Amino acid sequence: MAGHPPVDLVMPAVQWERLRSHLFRDDGDEHGAVIAAGLVESDGGSRILAREVHLAVDGVDYVAGDRGYRMLTADFVRDVALHCRDERLCYLAVHNHFGCESVEFSGTDLRSHERGYPALRDILQGPLVGGLVFAENAVAGDLWFADRRQPLRSAIVHGASTQRMYPRAPGQDSKTNERFDRQARLFGDRGQSLLGELRVGIIGLGGVGSIANELFSRLGVGHLSLVDPEDLELSNVPRVVGSTVCDVGIPKVEIARRVALASNPAAHVDTLTDSVVEDQVARHLRTCDVLVLAADTMQARLVVNALAHQFLIPTYQIGSKVQVDRASGAVLDVFSVVRPILPGSSGCLLCNGLINADRLAEEAVSDGERRAQRYVDEQAVVAPSVITLNAVGAAIACNEVMMRTVGLHSKHGGDFVYIDGRTGGFRHEVPRRDPNCPECGWTRPSRFARGDEVRLPTRARGSGS
């Protein structure tokens, strides 16, 4: 087991609540289920992505065991395993033990895995089978890959706040670095440690993304992946945090890297001077904990929306917009916007009509990345853009990420939020969700939680499309 990158389970809250209510009842008994899941593997670690929960009916699918207390019936295992094989999903058998903050498999459990999982892995013809055992706030896993067997490190549940479960409750975190003392007084040393473990990808390091980068680095986020293909232009300087006129011609990601490390020298910062539309760039972001979309091409929206749902990554689209009358030049509307994209909880950009097919076609022909900062329809007109408008949306999104990470957020929904730049008023919009959406839906054709099994809507380098 030693030497392999860690493995985590990621679950949307709606899946976890359904499973938890099935496992932990007032009857004091064990119950069973199977999670069908996608998988993403990278050099830094693997993630199992819960797509479906198959509940075993007591006395029908989950019965008294031949060698242990309870077991899944052969018919139930066969039916779900064949489904997982056909859908190219991982198979994880689940049951519960009692207790709260720690859990482990019994010897009987492990012996049953050794008898059954090699054959089950052959039936699935896939990368992973395994078992999970849950307590109320703990989980342990025995995972059988094609080339190895290893334990589960943790389970991550994305809900109103992000919940993390381990085989045993983490020990007391060491005292927070003095640099973060004042903020740790809000959410404690453990909260600061969680921020230090967070992996955030920021797509677009212009006016909005540069502010998000500054805020996350000052919060102590430990790993930042920064994506932007552009160099700084003179007209960017008033909006790009940390830039000066001497930086004109320097890649925006390098300026952002400098800002991040100045604020948090311990951070690990990756820079990708290319578009997220390129396949190798998008794949680099697959194991992020949070994505921030601050580039406004339709191609970027398409790819990041797919990343969010295919790999179960909470994502925030942030922007500001100034609507101008084309004839008179009069300012019609000024607002900032934050759109959470929360897999399993809220609708996606496609469901809400925010990925325009005509614009996608135009960008594919005319290199839309060059227009990433344009906010009006006519290409010849560069719309106004002001740092204060950008800062409003960036602050709201970064604050929500912080609160969810440290466990202080209390709202389940993922409302789109619009802030009027002239009145300061807030407008909340409940996003639509199409259950049959090919991106965020749970029906068979969708990419939801499919992991590496489905190709992202990216382009290979040099393809030109």
Q: Is it the case that residue 248 has pLDDT exceeding 70?
A: yes
Q: Is it the case that residue 463 has pLDDT exceeding 80?
A: no
Work out the pLDDT band at 416, boundaries 50, 70, 90: very high
User: Does one domain contain both 184 and 148?
Assistant: no
Ramachandran sector of residue 329 (left: φ over 0; alpha: ψ -120 to 50; beta: rest): left
Q: Which of 165, 192, 227 is the last residue of a domain?
A: 165
Q: Specify the CATH number for the domain of residue 58.
A: 3.40.140.10
The pLDDT assigned to 179 comes to 87
Work out the pLDDT band at 302, boundaries 50, 70, 90: very high
Q: Is it the case that residue 116 has pLDDT exceeding 50?
A: yes
Average pLDDT, integer, range 97-123: 93
Average pLDDT, integer, range 234-249: 96
User: Does one domain contain both 244 and 335?
Assistant: yes
Q: Is it the case that residue 373 has pLDDT exceeding 60?
A: no
Q: Is it the case that residue 378 has pLDDT exceeding 50?
A: no
User: Does one domain contain both 148 and 206?
Assistant: no
Question: What does the DSSP 8-state code read for residue 231?
Answer: B
| Better-predicted residue by pLDDT, 172 or 445 | 445
Q: Is it the case that residue 50 has pLDDT exceeding 50?
A: yes
The pLDDT assigned to 385 comes to 83
User: Does one domain contain both 51 and 97?
Assistant: yes
pLDDT in tens, 201-223: 999 999 999 999 999 999 999 99
The pLDDT assigned to 367 comes to 53
**Does the residue 207 lie in any domain?**
yes
User: Does one domain contain both 61 and 184?
Assistant: no
pLDDT in tens, 140-194: 999 999 889 999 999 999 988 999 999 998 876 667 788 898 998 999 999 999 9
User: Does one domain contain both 247 and 346?
Assistant: yes
pTM of full prediction above 0.85: yes
User: Does one domain contain both 150 and 206?
Assistant: no
320: Cβ contacts below 8 Å, ≥ 6 apart: 207, 208, 334, 335, 336, 337, 375, 385, 386, 389, 390, 392, 393, 421
Q: Specify the CATH number for the domain of residue 276.
A: 3.40.50.720
User: Does one domain contain both 25 and 65?
Assistant: yes
Q: State the number of CA atoms in the 13 A half-sphere of 294 facing the CB.
A: 32
Cα–Cα distance for residue pair 145/150, rounded to 1 Å: 8
The pLDDT assigned to 382 comes to 61
User: Does one domain contain both 210 and 134?
Assistant: no
CA distances from 132 to 86, 139, 156, 157 (A): 22, 7, 14, 15
Q: Is it the case that residue 375 has pLDDT exceeding 60?
A: no
The pLDDT assigned to 49 comes to 98
Q: Which of 142, 165, 188 is the last residue of a domain?
A: 165
Element (H, E) at 130: strand 128-135
The pLDDT assigned to 279 comes to 96
The pLDDT assigned to 252 comes to 98
The pLDDT assigned to 323 comes to 83
Cα–Cα distance for residue pair 156/97, rounded to 1 Å: 19
**Does the residue 229 lie in any domain?**
yes
Average pLDDT, integer, range 432-443: 90
According to DSSP, the β-strands at 149-151 and 138-145 are antiparallel
The proportion of the chain whose per-residue pLDDT surpasses 90, expressed as a percent, equals 75
Q: How far is CA 134 from the centre of its chain?
A: 23
Q: Is it the case that residue 365 has pLDDT exceeding 80?
A: no
CA distances from 82 to 39, 58, 264, 328 (A): 17, 21, 49, 64
**Does the residue 438 lie in any domain?**
no
Work out the pLDDT band at 29, boundaries 50, 70, 90: very high
| Better-predicted residue by pLDDT, 244 or 435 | 244
**Does the residue 104 lie in any domain?**
yes
Q: Which of 133, 165, 197 is the last residue of a domain?
A: 165
User: Does one domain contain both 200 and 77?
Assistant: no
**Does the residue 461 lie in any domain?**
no
The count of structural domains within the chain is 2
| Better-predicted residue by pLDDT, 308 or 380 | 308
The pLDDT assigned to 376 comes to 47
pLDDT, the chain, mean: 91
Work out the pLDDT band at 291, boundaries 50, 70, 90: very high
The pLDDT assigned to 2 comes to 55
The pLDDT assigned to 413 comes to 65
**Does the residue 170 lie in any domain?**
no
Average pLDDT, integer, range 291-305: 96
pLDDT in tens, 405-414: 999 887 666 8
User: Does one domain contain both 256 and 319?
Assistant: yes
- Residues spanned by the domain of 230: 178-429
**Does the residue 460 lie in any domain?**
no
**Does the residue 446 lie in any domain?**
no
User: Does one domain contain both 155 and 183?
Assistant: no
Q: Is it the case that residue 358 has pLDDT exceeding 90?
A: no
Q: Is it the case that residue 230 has pLDDT exceeding 80?
A: yes
